[in-house]
Chain A
């Protein structure tokens, strides 16, 4: 019996989809059988980030309305040997096409075959959110070091705490810009965790590579040299129960050349 984890944030644009894709990828890299579920019905994009857009035949709504079998709708990721699948969202209908009970049923069915089900939640707190959290056992709340994102995360945590059969949510702080955090222009991590008072499961630095990788349909977690990739892999390992210290934000091991480049302002 697998575990269903919903990735949510309240506010849009903080990196829910990227986080879902990369946690899913990292878990698959660890040898777990993973199914990604895109619940942002009407506006799917997890398939684009995963580079699986062209292979979609059926979607979540087709499954829920019994137009196809669940395994027919699942898109297999060829990069992993049968370890990573995606259940895409529909684009033609809106969020009201699915009810929370139906989602619950669907996730329960998926839990039979997969170790981890990662549910990508839409922004907002309306029906789409209710659908996404309905079948989940755990939750990961994504936020960025901005006051508005933290405020929304707080609201979402309040709603998640009301859900029955759900563990206390865990926090991912995304898009950290170290220099801004140091100068006090951004909220710092301690401040955010203290304010939200939930367990921190990972921090991810703001990295242009993430955007580049997303646009190419290749989750950054596949690239072992990127800092963001290591951060996502660490989150996956923490989900698996390993205890790993947080990555230092400073680039301590940068080469002399980069230091000189930085000194002259060359990127």
Chain B
């Protein structure tokens, strides 16, 4: 037991991998890490920067502890932490992660002055009336008439799209791009089954729904089938 090492260093093509044991105490780990790296740095002085990946197994580190480890490793002149990999996350993070990847289904009318905000994708069964606003971290799909404001990818996802059965928005926003309705609208014009996305020139473009599967193949969640 005495001989067991809590810190093992492995060299790979991409750089060094520090494997930190997950069954010892954090303090013990820090001490050993410090010793090991100090021993190393003496022999490897005057060399260019080496990126290090840290694997911590089933140990949960708080943000503060992560910073502590990073600065500990950085103190050794030629080592830079690239990433800290852990197998575990907190329940809170897990819930957030789930919410961000989930399609939230809502069935109601978003009326003037109302705001509907979801962290992931939004599937709205109902209309968005003028003055109403829907905001999603992911994509927005509206089975109904979009007459208000829709903001997809509000945390900066530029690949997000907005699709609606009837597209008559007063404003469309995707990530930080913005597009507003023309001042003169032909009211008899039918805007059915359309989608909005950011094109190569970083402009919001509106097109038929059918172009989406080519432009955004990552929309597919379903794997398999024939």
Query: Bound state CA distance, A197 and B109, in angstroms?
Result: 9
- With both beta carbons as reference points, the residue of chain A lying nearest to B144 in the complex is identified as A197
Query: By the criterion CB–CB under 8 Å, are B127 and A158 in contact?
Result: no
> Distance in Å from the Cβ of A119 to the closest Cβ of chain B?
22
CA distance A161 to B109 in the complex (A): 10
Nearest Cβ in chain B — how far from A251, in angstroms?
28
Query: Which DSSP category, helix, strand, loop or mixed, fits chain B's interface?
Result: loop
Interface residue? B30 (CB, 8 A): no
Residue B112 lies at the interface, judged by CB distance under 8 Å to chain A: yes
Q: Out of A154, A159, A161, which one reaches B129, CB within 8 Å?
A: A154
Is the CB–CB distance between B109 and A155 below 8 Å?
Answer: no
Instruction: Judge if B19 is at the interface, Cβ distance under 8 Å.
Output: no
CB-CB nearest in chain B for A10:
B112
Interface residue? B114 (CB, 8 A): yes
Q: Which residues of A contact B127 (CB under 8 A)?
A: 195, 197
Binding site for A on B (CB under 8 A): 109, 111-114, 127, 129-132
Top 6 A-B residue pairs of the complex, sorted by shortest distance between their CB atoms: A158-B111, A154-B112, A155-B112, A155-B113, A154-B111, A158-B114
Known interface pairs A154-B130, A154-B131, A158-B112; 12 further A-B residue pairs with C-beta atoms within 8 A, sorted by A's residue number: A151-B131, A155-B111, A155-B112, A155-B113, A157-B111, A158-B111, A158-B114, A158-B132, A159-B113, A161-B111, A195-B129, A197-B127
- Could you pull out 23 A-B pairs where Cβ atoms are within 8 angstroms? A151-B112, A151-B130, A151-B131, A152-B112, A154-B111, A154-B112, A154-B129, A154-B131, A154-B132, A155-B111, A155-B112, A155-B131, A157-B111, A158-B111, A158-B113, A158-B114, A158-B132, A159-B113, A161-B111, A195-B127, A195-B129, A197-B109, A197-B127
